[in-house]
Each structure stands twice: as C-alpha cells, then as structure tokens.
Amino acid sequence: MKRFAAIAALVMAGCSAPTAPLPGDLQGPEALALSGDELYVASTNSDELRVLELTSDPRTRGFASAPNPIYVLSIPVVTRPIALAADTDGQGHAGPYVFSLSSVSARLGIVVTQDKKEEAEVALPGTPLSVAARSTEAGGARVYIGLALGDQQGAVATVDVPAPGELAAASLAPTVAYPLGRAAPAGLDLSPDGSTLAIGDRLVGAADGGPAGGLIFLQLDGGGMSRLEVGGPVGRVVYSPAATRIGEACGVIEVDAGPPADAGADSDGGAEADAGLAVESFEAGHFLYALVESTGCPLGERCGGIQVVDLDADGGPSVGHPLQVPGIATDVAVAGSAAVDGPSGDLVLGGANCNPTLLLAVPSANSAVYFADGTNGQVFNAPSSPGPSISSEQFIGPDGGPQADAGGGPDLVDNGVLALGGLAAQTLVIQYEGLLPALVNRTATLSAADTLVDPAADFPALGVQAGDLLELPQGCSNTAAVVADAQPGSLTFAPAVADPGCFSGGTYSVRVAGSEPYLVAGSVAGYLGRVAPGGTFTSTTAYAYPQPASQGPALSFQMGAGLSNPAPGAGWTYTVFGGVTPLATPGGPNAIRPAQAIWAPSVGRFYVAYPGSALGGQISEIAPELIAPGATNSVVEYQ
C-alpha cells in the first residue's frame, strides 16, 4: 500500500510539472508583432505565423500549440510575410488584429487574434515596405502601409478594418491617402497620441539636390508633412514609451527639480522615493529612434547606426551623431524604466554605474545585441575595459612592410592622447604622402584636360587640399599631377593631360602632400586628418562612443621632425583602443543575422528574431537584469 501511494504521488507530481515547450519549427523569421501577452512571429520562408505565448512563468513560456497539442500552431498568411503590425490604442492595449505584409504578392493579410486565423487579404496598389496600425473606438483598426509606387515615388495607403464581427461582410480597399513624392517608406510608427506618423525614408541618391532618405513626419489630422535629415537613409523607426527614474540616472540629461508631490511609489512599484532624489521623467513619444542605414552614407563617412531624435528639444527636433555599434546595426528596441530594473554595477557609462531611464537594445549584423542609454544614444561599456591606450608602434616602409624605425615619428605611445571612447579598437597609421582612404582607385571623368569630376566625392571633406598628388591612369600623357583646387565633386590639377579621353575606363587616387604631407587614418575610422612635420595634430572627428562629459578631441599628438629620407607610403602604425568595449550579449550559439527586435513590457524581456539561425530560425529572449559582460544566462532561445 505504501508503494502504491508513493507511485501515485510521483504520478501526481509529474502531472503538475510544466510541460516541455513545443519547438517553433521557424523558417527564416523576419518580423515580430506584440499583441498583449502574445508575440507573433513571421516564419517568412514558410508563409505562416507562429505565436509565442509570454506567460508570467518562464517555464511555461513557449509557442502556442495547434488544436492537436502535439503540433505547434500554424497561421497561414500572405506569401513571404516581411513585416507585421498589431493594432493598439496608443497606450499599449491590444486590439483584435495582427497584420502581415507580402512584398511578393503585394497584399495585406488580416489575422484575428481571438481565433488565430487569417480572415481576409487586401490587394495593394504598390510594393509594400512597412506597416503600422491603430485601434479604433468602433472595435476595428486603421492600417497604414508604406508603399513604393515606382519611379522612386512613395506613398502611405490606409485600410479601414471594421470589428471582427463585421469583417466577413466588409468590402476592404486601400486608399492612397498620403503621397510622399520621392521616398521609400521603409519604416512606420505612430506617435502615442496618434496624431503623427513617423516614416523612415530609405531612398538613396538625391535628385536635383533634393533630399535623399531621412525622416518624414506626417500630420494625420491635416496631412501636413515635414522632413528631418539625420545623416542618411532610414529604415525602422520607433517612438519611445513613457519612462520615469527616481534616483541616479545616466548621462548629462536635464532632470526635473525634484520628485512630484504625488510620486508615491518608485518606477517599479516599490517604496516611496527618498525626499530630495532627482526624478528623470519622459512622456511617451519624447524621443524617436531611427535606424540610419550605412548604404547611403556619403563617401568616406560612417553615418549608419541609431539616431536618437529628441522631439521635445527647444527649437525643434534635435539630432546628434548616430549611435554606432561594432558590425552594422540592424534594428532597435526600447524599454522604459518602469519595467527595467537594471543590473546595478553592470551598466557603465563614462566610468560610472547607472540605471537607464530608457534602455536601447541594438542588434548587430555580427549577431550580438548591444545596449545604450535611450536618452542620449551613448553606448554602455563593459566595466572591465582598460583605459584608452596606444601601443605596438611599428615602422613601415614604402611597400607597407615592417622596417627598422627611421626616426622622426610622433612617438604616440609616449605623447599621444586618446580620449575615453574617442576611437574604436583599430590600427592607426601615420604615413608620408599616404593615400586618402576614400580616394583609392575611384572611377571618374574629365570634363576638361585639367578638371576631374566625381559627383559623389566631397573632396574637401575627404581631406583633399591644394598641393596634394593626383595619380592618373596609365593611358594619360602624364600619370601624376598636383591638385590646384578642390571643390565638392571636382578637382582641377596641373599639368593638364593632352587628351581628356585618356581617362575612359581608368581610375584615380589622391595622396596627401604639400605643407601637411603626413596622413592620419584608422582601419575602422578611415580618414582622421593630416599633420605637418613638427606640427600638432588634433582630431575633429566625432567620438566612436560618445561619453557623458566632454573629454576633448578624440586623438591628439605632437608630430616629430618627420622622416629624413621620406618615401610615399612610409610611416608608422599603432594599435589603439579607446577604453570602451560596448556592452553586448550574444544572441545564442545558433544565432545568425538578426532582423527585428521588440520589447515586451508584460514580461520585461527583449525579443530578437534571427532568420539566419543555423537551425532555420530562432527568437532570442534577453533579460535586461542579467546583462553583464560575458554573461550567457541572459539569453533564452526559442526555435
């Protein structure tokens, strides 16, 4: 009898234990949408959606099952869904729908979340690029679709969807409500109050000097439209949620004078804040985060990254230098501090520990996810990082190979000054008559025997000065010339060539020369400047990883007397490290090529889609409170 009772107890214990989550069988998940406590995942390669149920107990969190519980739920939708949107009321409360886009069939799919089924599809009058939605008071939704219409024209179409009970009888048709002109609306997000549609314009290449890419703000009530240039074409855009932090926050952000009279509990529902503690508080929509794509950066510049736009700044929207991370940023998600209780001692900004009021998660093409302060775009760094350093001086000869040091160099190891966060880890080179990094073997035309035209090259910004050396194709009467004048898009030089046609199919390069013949460049940063023998070098480039307090120029040093017998290409190399290793967490051992990221406030987790996973695709769940340098326990994989 005792044995029977023991067996029965074991059976009962087994029945009450959480069941193993179903595998998602994801095939190239490209997009995510959050509807309440359900995360909808586009399994793009299999033309369907999966639903990740975000239960409060992590042990039961997993993909929803089909009616036959041994199979995962599949929601067939439009062909190759590349974007998703859930309708909300602006406060984050879920509406009845999730919408999917197909750029292959140019259709909008409408999924009713209650029955987990696509109930309708709508043909669209162009190639859909992006989607956003907002619930209506009648129980339906208004959907906004960014369209490419051909000939570089863009527009936003709308579809009014009734309540689910009326959907079967409804006649659904898109209206091209907002023509945008030359634009590629690759990202959409509605302001929390619903008055403004932020549009990421991915169009590359200006026409007649007009804008190319950037942000578009569409006023939905009156249809007014304004543009904001942010340094390049923009993909995804995300408004910030409401956030409050009582106590020490990050960076140098202006804070309220003190806690409000009704402050009561702190942002996590705990005890009242001590009197006198500063309160940093932002309403929803105070910031907009824009993914600036590197494909449209001006020649020689690194403009890609995440641009933090302060929409409430004095004098209008304010932008700075884009937040950059190792690799290439692929998306951005933002969490408010009401759900983030950061790991004290693990988030470090400018050498000090802090908890962010807004926390950004930035997936990178290198598969890692980086973290930054959402109020100022400053990346958090691992506290174990050494300070800024310059080391490994080596002399190189004209052929680029190592040689015995000929003297006359800057001796950066002893006298160079590198600011915290000024440069990413890289190799620094100082070369006599070095080739300007962005102007090596470029194609161009000659508009005259002494005038070179390259419209994409802003020659002064790329470092070209009068007196620099221009290398011309072998077929020309002279293969070397001296720059007489440098203007954006054109150079004049002497001596002129005998026949301008000699340049057909050829390339050119530019070497620094003249009064400042030593090039200063980085393997990551590119052109940093130039310096004369015995001169003082002061970098004017933006920091790779900006810091809360000003540190002076990113790099400065005193140049030596120079080489006694200089030859083009000879000089010195150094290993430099700006003292900041951006804080990151891996996406998981199988994570490859991240796509969209999203924040789920109900469970306090970031989710990142990895369509390139070695297993066909996965969703990585990241716990902010576990983020720490080298930590792997902050990530859970759903595959």
Kindly list the distances between the CA atom of residue 250 and the CA atoms of 376, 403, 545, 591, in Å, as whole numbers in the listed order.
9, 47, 15, 30
> For residue 205, what pLDDT band results from cuts at 50, 70 and 90?
low
> For residue 296, what pLDDT band results from cuts at 50, 70 and 90?
low
Instruction: Give pLDDT, residue 28.
Output: 94
CB under 8 Å to 258, separation ≥6 — which residues? 276, 277, 278, 279
pLDDT at 2 over 70: no
Domain of 365 in residue numbering reads as 244-282+332-385+581-639
Q: What average pLDDT score do residues 91-97 get?
A: 90
How far, in Å, CA of 330 to CA of 366, rounded?
10
> For residue 173, what pLDDT band results from cuts at 50, 70 and 90?
very high
Asked which of 105-119, 198-212, 317-331, 561-575 is least confident by mean pLDDT, the reply is 198-212
How far, in Å, CA of 608 to CA of 583, rounded?
17
- Give me 380's structure tokens: 């958090």
| Chain CA centroid to CA 179, Å | 27
Residue 424 lies in a domain: yes
For 495-529, what is each residue's pLDDT tens digit?
A: 999 999 898 878 999 999 999 999 999 999 999 99
Find the length of the chain.
639
How far, in Å, CA of 130 to CA of 102, rounded?
10
Task: Identify whether residues 354 and 268 lie together within a single domain.
Answer: yes
Task: Identify whether residues 528 and 427 lie together within a single domain.
Answer: yes
Nearest to 190 by CA among 336, 85, 275: 85
Kindly list the distances between the CA atom of residue 145 and the CA atoms of 158, 222, 426, in Å, as whole numbers in the listed order.
6, 18, 42
Nearest to 557 by CA among 390, 406, 402, 436: 390
pLDDT at 351 over 80: no
> For residue 57, what pLDDT band results from cuts at 50, 70 and 90?
very high
Residue appearing with tokens 């490209």: 30
> For residue 92, what pLDDT band results from cuts at 50, 70 and 90?
confident
Task: Identify whether residues 258 and 371 lie together within a single domain.
Answer: yes
pLDDT at 342 over 70: no
Residue 638 lies in a domain: yes
User: 518: which strand partners?
Assistant: 432, 531
Asked which of 57-71, 509-523, 605-619 is least confident by mean pLDDT, the reply is 605-619
Cis status, amide bond into 495, omega within 30 of 0? yes
CB under 8 Å to 349, separation ≥6 — which residues? 250, 251, 373, 378, 380, 381, 547, 548
Residue 106 lies in a domain: no
Instruction: Give pLDDT, residue 336.
Output: 84
Instruction: Give pLDDT, residue 346.
Output: 52
pLDDT at 365 over 60: yes
* Higher pLDDT pick, 95 / 19: 95
HSE-up of residue 185 (Cα within 13 Å, Cβ side)? 30
Nearest to 282 by CA among 333, 316, 245, 309: 245
Q: Which of 537, 552, 577 is the last residue of a domain?
A: 577
For 464-503, what is each residue's pLDDT tens digit?
A: 999 999 999 988 999 999 999 999 999 999 999 999 989 8
| Chain CA centroid to CA 93, Å | 27
End-to-end CA distance of the chain: 44
Largest CA distance in the chain: 109
Instruction: Give SS3 for 8.
Output: helix
| Sequence letter at residue 354 | C
Count helices and strands in the chain by DSSP H and E runs: 2, 47
- Give me 72's structure tokens: 């995962």
For 310-334, what is each residue's pLDDT tens digit?
A: 999 888 899 987 888 888 899 999 9
pLDDT at 191 over 80: yes
Asked which of 293-302, 478-487, 518-527, 605-614 is least confident by mean pLDDT, the reply is 293-302
Specify the CATH number for the domain of residue 465.
2.40.30
How far, in Å, CA of 255 to CA of 338, rounded?
17
The kind and range of the H/E element at 207 are none
Nearest to 31 by CA among 159, 104, 130: 130
The kind and range of the H/E element at 394 are strand 389-396
Give, in degrees to the nearest 5, the angle at Cα 144 between 203 and 74. 105
| Sequence letter at residue 320 | G
Task: Identify whether residues 369 and 505 lie together within a single domain.
Answer: no
> For residue 270, what pLDDT band results from cuts at 50, 70 and 90?
very low
Kindly list the distances between the CA atom of residue 196 and the CA atoms of 69, 184, 344, in Å, as whole numbers in the listed order.
43, 18, 37
Give, in degrees to the nearest 5, the angle at Cα 257 between 254 and 261. 135
How far, in Å, CA of 240 to CA of 182, rounded?
27
Task: Identify whether residues 419 and 452 lie together within a single domain.
Answer: no
- Give me 205's structure tokens: 């290449």
Residue 560 lies in a domain: yes
Q: What average pLDDT score do residues 153-159 get?
A: 96
Is residue 627 within 8 A of residue 605, CB to CB? The reply is no
How far, in Å, CA of 131 to CA of 84, rounded?
7
Residue 557 lies in a domain: yes
- Give me 583's structure tokens: 């804080």
Residue 305 lies in a domain: no
For 430-450, what is each residue's pLDDT tens digit?
A: 999 999 999 999 999 999 999
How far, in Å, CA of 458 to CA of 437, rounded?
13
Q: Which of 552, 577, 602 is the last residue of a domain?
A: 577
Is residue 305 within 8 A of residue 297, CB to CB? The reply is no
Task: Identify whether residues 393 and 419 lie together within a single domain.
Answer: yes
Tell me the percentage of the chain whose pLDDT exceeds 90. 62
Task: Identify whether residues 398 and 493 lie together within a single domain.
Answer: no
Task: Identify whether residues 381 and 503 lie together within a single domain.
Answer: no
Residue 304 lies in a domain: no
What's the domain count of the chain?
Answer: 3
Residue 76 lies in a domain: no
Residue appearing with tokens 């066909």: 616
How far, in Å, CA of 532 to CA of 560, rounded?
9
Nearest to 262 by CA among 281, 290, 240, 236: 281
Instruction: Give pLDDT, residue 257.
Output: 29
Instruction: Give pLDDT, residue 277.
Output: 53
| DSSP code string of 565-612 | S--TT-EEEEEEE-S--B-EEE--TT--S---EEEETTTTEEEEEETT
Q: Which of 533, 551, 577 is the last residue of a domain?
A: 577
Task: Identify whether residues 451 and 489 lie together within a single domain.
Answer: yes
The kind and range of the H/E element at 636 are strand 635-638
* Higher pLDDT pick, 455 / 34: 34
Question: What mean pLDDT value characterizes the chain?
Answer: 86
Q: What average pLDDT score do residues 535-557 get?
A: 89
pLDDT at 139 over 60: yes
The kind and range of the H/E element at 174 are none
20-46 in b/e form (b: 16+ CB < 10 A) is: ebbebbbbbbbbbbbbeebbbbbbbeb
Cα torsion 284, 312, 230, 525: sign: negative
Task: Identify whether residues 534 and 565 lie together within a single domain.
Answer: yes
Task: Identify whether residues 588 and 552 lie together within a single domain.
Answer: no
* Higher pLDDT pick, 461 / 258: 461
How far, in Å, CA of 340 to CA of 608, rounded?
17
* Higher pLDDT pick, 493 / 256: 493
Instruction: Give pLDDT, residue 13.
Output: 40
State the pairing for strand pair 389-396/358-363: unpaired
Task: Identify whether residues 521 and 636 lie together within a single domain.
Answer: no
How far, in Å, CA of 285 to CA of 291, rounded?
16
Phi, psi (rounded to 5 degrees) for 626? -105, 0
How far, in Å, CA of 620 to CA of 603, rounded?
14
588: left (phi > 0), else alpha (psi -120 to 50), else beta?
A: left
Nearest to 546 by CA among 415, 340, 386, 381: 381
How far, in Å, CA of 253 to CA of 373, rounded?
11
Tell me the percentage of the chain whose pLDDT exceeds 70. 85
Asked which of 225-239, 263-277, 338-352, 446-460 is least confident by mean pLDDT, the reply is 263-277
How far, in Å, CA of 527 to CA of 420, rounded?
19
Instruction: Give pLDDT, residue 251.
Output: 57
